[in-house]
Chains A and B, each alone.
Chain A
Amino acid sequence: MNRDVSSQRTIVVLVENKAGVLARVADLFARRGYNIVSLAVAPTHDDSLSRLTIVVDVESAPLEQIVNQLFKLINVVEIAELSLGMSVERELMLATVTTDRTTRNQIVELVDIFEGKIVAVSSEQLTVSLDGRPSKIDDFEALLQDFDIIELQRSGRIALPKIGRSVPRLRAV
C-alpha cells in the first residue's frame, strides 16, 4: 500500500492524565475537520501525564492551527514536533494470513528478510509480527498484500527525539 507521507507530520502531545482527555483531543480533531493519520496513547513514566503521538495530515489544516487549537485544551501541557531526521520512530504490526504448502515458506522467508517474528501458527494460518520504522512496516505490508490476509493491525506510530537532539517545543504562536 502506498501512503502519501508528504503531508504527514508527527507531533507529540503531553497531556494531564485525566478522565476524558483523549475524548477532548479526538473531539477537537473531529470538530475542526483535522485528519488524524495515526494516534498512539499511553501513560508516561510520570503517571500524572500521558503521551500522545499523533500523525496529522496537514493537507486538512496548517500544523500551526492544529497546534494552537490543541493548546486551547486546558489539559494539554506540551506539544513538540518530531521531524524525520530528529527522531526515532517505531511502529508495530501484527498480521494473520492464510497459508498453504506453497505460501507458507514464502511468508516465512519474507518474515526472515524483514527480521519479523512468527508469533502463532496453526495448520492453515500464521500470525506474524514486525516492528520497525514506519516505512519498513509499509514495505512489509505492501508485500503481504500478495497473500490472503485475514486480519491486520498496526499500532500507530510512536516516536522519541534522537539522543542529543533538542526538539523544538511548540508554543502557541
Chain B
Amino acid sequence: MPDPIVLNGGQALIKSLEEEGVEVVFGYPGGAILPVYDPILDSSIRHVLVRHEQGAGHAAEGYAHATGKPGVCMVTSGPAATNIVTPLADAYLDSVPMVCITGQVAMAAIGTDAFQEVDTTGITRSITKHNILVTRASDIPNAVKEAFHIATTGRPGPVLIDIPKNIVDANNPDAYFEFSYPQAVNLPGYNPNVTPSEASVGEAVELMSKASRPVLYVGGGVLKARGAKALRELAEMGNIPVVSTLMARGAFPDSHELALGMPGMHGNYTAVAAIQKSDLLIAMGSRFDDRVTGKVDAFAPEAKIIHVDIDPAEHGKVRKADVSVVGDCRIAMEMMLERLHKRGGSSAFADHVAWRQKLSGWQERYPYTYDRELPGELLKPQFVLERLRDACPDDTIVASGVGQHQMWASQYWQFDHPYTWINSGGLGTMGFSIPAAIGAKAAMPDRLVWAVDGDGCFQMTGQELVTAAVEKIPIKVALLNNAYLGMVRQWQEMFYDERYSEVHLGHDTPDYVKWAESMGCEAFRVTDPDEVDVIIAKANEINDRPVVVEFRTQSAEKVFPMVPAGGSNDDIMVHPSQVDQPAV
C-alpha cells in the first residue's frame, strides 16, 4: 500500500479531475473558487482562460460535441454561476455531456445573502441532469466521480458541482483529508436503460420488414451513441432513406444516395415530404421536436412509428409510438441488424423501389436553391457557404451560431462524417459558435475548425476571440454580415407585414475587421464575389492565429424552404423560383 496522501479540498478537486482523464478545463477564476485555482498551477490539466463565463460553458460543449468526452468548465459563485446558466440549459436541451464546477460562498455564509451568493443548485435544478452542493471536503472525490458518471452515461447531459469556499480552503484544517479516488459509484436510483428488450426490437424489425415507404428519422441520439456505422448498415440493408435532424447532421453521409438531408422548419423539401408521406417512421434518437414536426396533429399522418430512445420519458411525450424501443441507439440498431441478418438481410424488407423513385423526383424538382447576386450587389450567403465548403477538407469541423446562417450552413454544407457539425439546436443560443469552435479546436488542434457566425451572434460572444488568440487556438470565423438579425427580419417580412422592429444592426458598426484585429486575429472583409475564393484560401493558410473573414451579405435574403411556425409540414413554402413547379 502506498502512503496515504493528505490533500485539501481544492487539491482533491483537481486531482479528481486528473483521475477522470480531464485534459482541458475552460474557466474563469473569482472569489469563491480562488482556492481551487491555486493547485491548477501544479496540475497537468490545461486551463483555458475565457473572457466571459458563458464562453467557458459553450467551449466545454464544443469540446464534448467534437470528442464525445465530457467538457469541463469551472467558474466562481454568484454572477459567474448565473452567467453559465445559458450553456447549462443549452447542454441540457442538446444532451451534451458536461461537468460544471461552480464556487460557492463558505458554508457558514450560505443562506445569508452573502457577497456573490446565489442559490446555484436551485437555479440550475431544471436545466441540469443532476446537480449537487458538496458540504464536506472528503465528499469531493465521490461527487466528481458521480458527476462524470451521470454526465456521460444514459442520455448524456450537464452535471453541476457546487463547492463552498471553506471546504477547498488551504488555510482550513478541516478541509484536509486522506485522498482516495473511488472505483465505483453508489447511485441506487440511477440505472439507464441501455439495452432494449428483445421483444421491442423484434416488433420493430417486424414493422420494418413490412413497410413500403419507410424513413429513418435520425436525431442527435445516434451521434451520442456512436451509432453512425450501425445506422449506415441498417439504412443500406433495408434500402431505407434517411433524414438527419439539425442535431444529427453528419450521422449519415450527405453524399450517400439514401440521404435526404435535414427535415423541419427549414428542412429539405424531400426530407419533409418523405416524412409526411411515409408509412413507417423509424425515429432513431430523435425527440419529435416542434421544429421538426410542425403541427403535431398533421405530422406524418399515415406513418406508424418506431421510436428508439434511451430516455424513457421521450417515449409518448409528443407522439405515441407503435413500437417503443427503450435503449441506446447503437445497441438497438445492432440488435435489429442481427435479427435482420438472420431473416436474410436485404431480402427481409419489402421492395422500396417505387418509394425511392418518388423521392428522387422530389429531390430533382426541389433542391435547395437561391438566386445569385446581380452585378454590384452584395454577396449571397448561400454562395459563400458553398465556396467555403468546397475549399475545406471534408473532415472540417463547422460550429454554427443561431439564425439564418445556421440554417444555410446546415443546408449547404456537405456533412460526410459524424462529429463535424456543432450547433445549438434545442436552446437556440445566439453566440454559440465562437466559444464552441474554440472548445472543438482545443480538443482537436490538427483539424480545421470554422465557426459560421452571423453579425448578431458575433456581437454576443465575439470577445472570446481574445481567448482564441492568447491561448493559441487558431479557429476561423466566417462572419456572414447581413446587417440584420436576419431570421427575425425574415419573420417580420413574412408574418408582420414587413414592419421591421428592432432588427437592424448595420453593416458598419462595429467595424468587424478592426475589432477582430484588435483581438489578435487576422481579419478580412469580402464584398465582391470574385474575392471569395481568394480570401478563403488565404484564411485556410493561416495557422498561427485566429482568422475572421467578414462576408458582407444581402439583408433581404430569406431561408427556404420554410414551414411557418405552428403550421403543418404539408404547408411547406419552397423557394419562389420553385413555386410554379408542377406537383409531384
Contact A73 B189 (CB under 8 A): yes
Contact A16 B188 (CB under 8 A): yes
Contact A65 B316 (CB under 8 A): yes
Residues of chain B in range 96-131 having any CB-CB distance to chain A below 8 Å:
121-122, 125-126, 129-130
> Is B184 on the interface with A (CB-CB < 8 A)?
no
Min CB–CB distance A24 → chain B (angstroms): 6
Q: Which of B133, B150, B315 is A173 in contact with, Cβ under 8 Å?
A: B315
- Report how far A15 CA is from B187 CA in the complex, Å: 11
- Report how far A78 CA is from B190 CA in the complex, Å: 10
> Is A172 on the interface with B (CB-CB < 8 A)?
yes
Contact B312 A68 (CB under 8 A): yes
> Is B193 on the interface with A (CB-CB < 8 A)?
yes
User: Which residues of chain A are within 8 angstroms of B374 by Cβ–Cβ distance?
Assistant: none
Contact A27 B126 (CB under 8 A): yes
- Report how far A31 CA is from B135 CA in the complex, Å: 27
User: Which residues of chain A are within 8 angstroms of B324 by Cβ–Cβ distance?
Assistant: 173
> Is A120 on the interface with B (CB-CB < 8 A)?
no
Q: Which residue of A lies closest to B127 (CB)?
A: A31
Contact B189 A15 (CB under 8 A): yes
> Is A42 on the interface with B (CB-CB < 8 A)?
no
Interface digits, A128-139 against B, CB 8 Å rule (1 contact, 0 not)? 000000000000
> Is A84 on the interface with B (CB-CB < 8 A)?
no
> Is A23 on the interface with B (CB-CB < 8 A)?
yes
> Is B5 on the interface with A (CB-CB < 8 A)?
no
> Is B534 on the interface with A (CB-CB < 8 A)?
no
- How many residues of B are in contact with the other chain, CB < 8 A? 22
Asked whether A77 and B188 contact (CB < 8 A) given A23-B122, A31-B126, A173-B193, the answer is: yes
- How many residues of A are in contact with the other chain, CB < 8 A? 24
Q: Which of A15, A24, A65 is B317 in contact with, Cβ under 8 Å?
A: A65
> Is B379 on the interface with A (CB-CB < 8 A)?
no
Q: Which residue of A lies closest to B190 (CB)?
A: A74
Contact B188 A71 (CB under 8 A): no
- Report how far A73 CA is from B324 CA in the complex, Å: 21
- Report how far A99 CA is from B189 CA in the complex, Å: 51
User: Which residues of chain B are within 8 angstroms of A75 by Cβ–Cβ distance?
Assistant: 189
> Is B477 on the interface with A (CB-CB < 8 A)?
no
Contact B133 A20 (CB under 8 A): yes
Min CB–CB distance B80 → chain A (angstroms): 21
> Is B313 on the interface with A (CB-CB < 8 A)?
yes
Contact A172 B326 (CB under 8 A): yes
User: Which residues of chain B are within 8 angstroms of A73 by Cβ–Cβ distance?
Assistant: 189
Q: Which residue of B lies closest to A71 (CB)?
A: B312
Contact A19 B125 (CB under 8 A): no
User: Which residues of chain B are within 8 angstroms of A74 by Cβ–Cβ distance?
Assistant: 129-130, 150, 187, 189-190
Q: Which residue of A lies closest to B157 (CB)?
A: A72
- Report how far A115 CA is from B326 CA in the complex, Å: 50
> Is B311 on the interface with A (CB-CB < 8 A)?
yes
Contact B189 A76 (CB under 8 A): yes
Contact B316 A64 (CB under 8 A): yes
- Report how far A75 CA is from B324 CA in the complex, Å: 25
User: Which residues of chain B are within 8 angstroms of A16 by Cβ–Cβ distance?
Assistant: 188-189
> Is A168 on the interface with B (CB-CB < 8 A)?
no
User: Which residues of chain A are within 8 angstroms of B313 by Cβ–Cβ distance?
Assistant: 65, 68-69, 71-72, 172
User: Which residues of chain B are within 8 angstroms of A64 by Cβ–Cβ distance?
Assistant: 316
Min CB–CB distance B245 → chain A (angstroms): 22
Min CB–CB distance A166 → chain B (angstroms): 20
> Is A62 on the interface with B (CB-CB < 8 A)?
yes
Contact B316 A62 (CB under 8 A): yes
Min CB–CB distance A61 → chain B (angstroms): 10
Min CB–CB distance A83 → chain B (angstroms): 21
- Report how far A173 CA is from B313 CA in the complex, Å: 8
Can you list the 8 inter-chain pairs with the closest CB atoms, starting with the nearest?
Answer: A172-B312, A68-B313, A173-B312, A77-B189, A68-B312, A74-B130, A173-B326, A76-B189
| 5 pairs of residues in contact across A and B, judged by CB atoms under 8 Å | A19-B135, A23-B125, A27-B126, A64-B316, A74-B190
User: Besides A65-B316, A78-B189, A172-B326, 4 other CB < 8 A contacts?
Assistant: A23-B122, A62-B316, A74-B150, A173-B315
